[in-house]
Chain A
Amino acid sequence: MPELSKKDRMKIPRQPMPEQDSGLRSANFEEVNLGFTEELAKMEALRCLQCPKPVCIDGCPVEIKISDFIRLVAKGDFLGAASKIKEDNMLPAVCGRVCPQEEQCEAKCVVGIKGESVAIGRLERFVADFEREHGGSRTLEIKPKTGKKVAIIGSGPAGLSCAGDLIQMGHDVTVFEALHELGGVLIYGIPEFRLPKDIVKAEIDSLKSLGVEFQTNAVIGFTDTIDELMQSGYDAVFIAVGAGLPYFLNIYGENLNGVYSSNEFLTRVNLMKAYKFPDYDTPVFNVKDKTVAVFGGGNTAMDAVRTSKRLGAKNAYIIYRRSDVELPARKEEIHHAKQEGIEFLLLANPNKFIGDKDGWLTGVELIKMELGEPDSSGRRKPVPIDGSNHILDIDMAVIAIGNGSNPIIQQTTPELQFNKWGNILVNEETMATSKKGVFAGGDIVTGGATVILAMGAGRQAAKAINNYLNKINISV
């Protein structure tokens, strides 16, 4: 293939992601994005300028060698590209789907200064899918066994990425999961149509094949305390339990029947497969031909509202107190939601829920908002407009305004230090907690954030734990 000039490369348009038709998909749980074909992937890869100093890598929390893997894609060496990504990221099929690349690697991409940035996320996803469908890349190198054992609490993105790194460094790793299935938020939270569960399972299987051990039904704090884990022979512990305690709005009527947290609604549908009731035993509110309102504007809110549409809701609203520019969800998710017929009621805030005599939700009183001065987050503060109260008839509500910290570890591990929100305090460089040999990362430290930030924290912790374990070796 003749070498393309920069100019030629810049002329190639960003390749579109093939999608399932919006009419069809709003009635099924199949994945929305279908993924690049080999041709689309190669064409997209040619758009990369192969910068001598690829700044895109600065935007990646796990520092994937982006230009290197894209060069391999352009050459058609897709398995080579997969190996290159896996040097830094054990879960590329997940990240290629759910990372906010537009705020990370793609935001830094030089091509994006004048035109549209290279579709790094779509390429990552293509490479990971190709590898999975074509029997895997070369086996990863595993260092000789160190004889050290690490316990990881939580099998979500932070725990999995930490496990992947530590096992390659030669340590024995056991991951403890509270639920009956592995994957944490990747399984219970993110819906099938955005992240198929088979893909999560395949990524976990590849960790198992490297020797990572998993224990489900293990609620650390109750089943074993952290002290007991350390007494039973673990040399270090990584706490990656996520946020996992849903916030509510604290308004009147929130405990009416038909009001859910996003965690509950999504867990029922995703983990427990309530959309297949009664073949699966767990039920969920029957929204068929009903009206659903989801409160919040993040990715979880989009997941919940799009899920309700797929369950047959006639009207599905996003209700958000700021305007569309402040919506925290990924642009792609908002775009997909709108295509699927989700209605956005912006600059609106709930005052109270209204129920019937049997305690079922029938409506919500909303008040219109306007944007005032910027608040501490730098976003313009929404201010209620007096007298703009009005009632919206709804049958089901989902509160998707974020998560606080789960109290179980705090209640059962007195030596750990927490901030006032219940987040574990750590040394930001080493992820070490106030308790010797215990590290923490992901949402339990930062508060609710993204999959990739949690994975970055997992990798950072793996490095620090490795250093810590090596030091123990020397001192013995």
Chain B
Amino acid sequence: MYKIVVAEFLAENIKRFVIEAPKIAAKRKAGQFVIIRLKDGGERIPLTIADSDNPKGTITIIVQGIGKTTKELNSLNAGDLILDVVGPLGKPSHIENFGTAVSIGGGVGTAIAYPTAVALKQAGNHTISIIGGRTKDLVILEDELKQVCDEVYPTTDDGSYGFHGFVTQKLKELIDNGTKIDFVLAIGPIPMMKAVAETTRPYGIKTVVSLNPIMVDGTGMCGGCRATVDNKTVFVCVDGPEFDAHLVDFATLERRNRTYKEHEKESLHDYMCHFDKAFEDNLVTSN
């Protein structure tokens, strides 16, 4: 069992957890992930490690409640226990001094991009972060990134905060203004990563994305997370999760991620009904 020591909402539906997992904390490198299982009968889901504190023996994960398991996870609080946390899994980010490196995070993807931004800075890069959200409240980790990066640009789709527009528009603006960019890391929703890949492609800027397919074991055993990169099949869990954005077949990834859409709806519906029922029961008993 793994104990949650901090649980706090960063934005609506986006929660930060600090979890006691000393072995993983000591080992993990930027770009790696854990697989967690909340309880008996629970599913195994991959979550990128956002941060760690080796002396304290903790890791940080940042979770957006979308399906049943992430919503259930986000209902947990400090002191609660998670049944299984396994990792660190996957290959660490490839870090070197590229020159100027831009890390782009979309929504909760910012949490995944954060550790790599830190590592890029430590490797000597001039580090720029572009962090996007639909609206102001969904722009996360701005303060944390400002402490690390040379430049941080928040963007919002609705213009409620920072640059009004998509992260790709901000990236294009930087390029057009003559910023010499040597490396781009983009992590977020698939359409965003695809758009970043298309933005940098004409300029030949090396661009890396972290893929988020459906996984089961996370150790190469099942092949459920396979993706198409450079027209070849790769297993994201052991060959990735980071790949050359210009070679990734995003359409296949997006499509495969929809495999269990109907199941996910049913599962979430059942969960929310239980949740509502528990809530109502609670009202009845408290009355």
Seen from chain A, the residues whose Cβ lies within 8 Å of a Cβ on chain B are: 178-180, 188, 216-219, 222-224, 244-246, 248, 250, 254-255, 257-258, 260-261, 263-264, 267-268, 272-273, 277-283, 285-286, 358-359, 406-408
Contact = CB atoms under 8 A, between A and B. Distances in A.
B68 A281 contact: yes
Contacts of B23: 223-224
B69 A264 contact: no
Given A219-B86, A257-B259, A267-B222, 5 more contacts: A178-B219, A217-B84, A245-B221, A286-B262, A359-B255
Given A264-B216, A272-B216, A216 B267 contact: no
B263 A283 contact: yes
Contacts of B42: 281
A188 B221 CA distance: 10
Nearest to B86: A217
Interface string B78-94: 00000111111100000
A408 B217 CA distance: 13
B89 A222 contact: yes
Nearest to A406: B220
Given A219-B89, A281-B68, A257 B223 contact: no
Given A224-B23, A257-B258, A263 B223 contact: yes
B139 to A, nearest CB: 31
Instruction: Please report whether the interface of chain B is mostly helix, strand, loop or mixed according to DSSP.
Output: mixed
Contact of A255 (B85, B226, B263): B226
Contacts of B85: 217
11 contacts: A178-B217, A180-B37, A217-B84, A219-B89, A222-B89, A245-B221, A248-B223, A255-B256, A280-B43, A408-B219, A408-B220
A283 B264 contact: yes
A237 B267 CA distance: 42
Given A222-B88, A248-B233, A255-B256, A280 B41 contact: yes
A255 B267 contact: no
Contacts, number: 117
A248 B220 CA distance: 13
Nearest to B34: A217
Contacts of B258: 257
B74 to A, nearest CB: 15
Nearest to B38: A281
A248 B223 CA distance: 9
Contacts of A223: 23-24, 27, 86-88
Contacts of A219: 86-87, 89, 219
B41 A267 contact: no
Interface in B200-250: 216-217, 219-224, 226-228, 233, 235, 238
A23 B129 CA distance: 62
Contacts of B263: 277-278, 283, 286
Contacts of A216: 84
A254 B86 contact: no
A118 to B, nearest CB: 37
A264 B87 contact: no
Contacts of A244: 219-221
Contacts of B87: 219, 222-223
B222 A261 contact: yes
Given A224-B23, A281-B41, A359 B221 contact: no
B240 to A, nearest CB: 12
Contacts of A268: 216
A350 to B, nearest CB: 16
B246 to A, nearest CB: 19
Contacts of B216: 264, 267-268, 272, 282
B252 interface: yes
A358 B255 contact: yes
Interface string B87-127: 11100000000000000000000000000000000000000
Given A217-B84, A217-B85, A359-B252, A278 B222 contact: no
Contacts of A224: 23
Contacts of A282: 43-44, 216
A222 B87 CA distance: 7
Contacts of B68: 281
Contacts of A281: 41-43, 68-69, 267
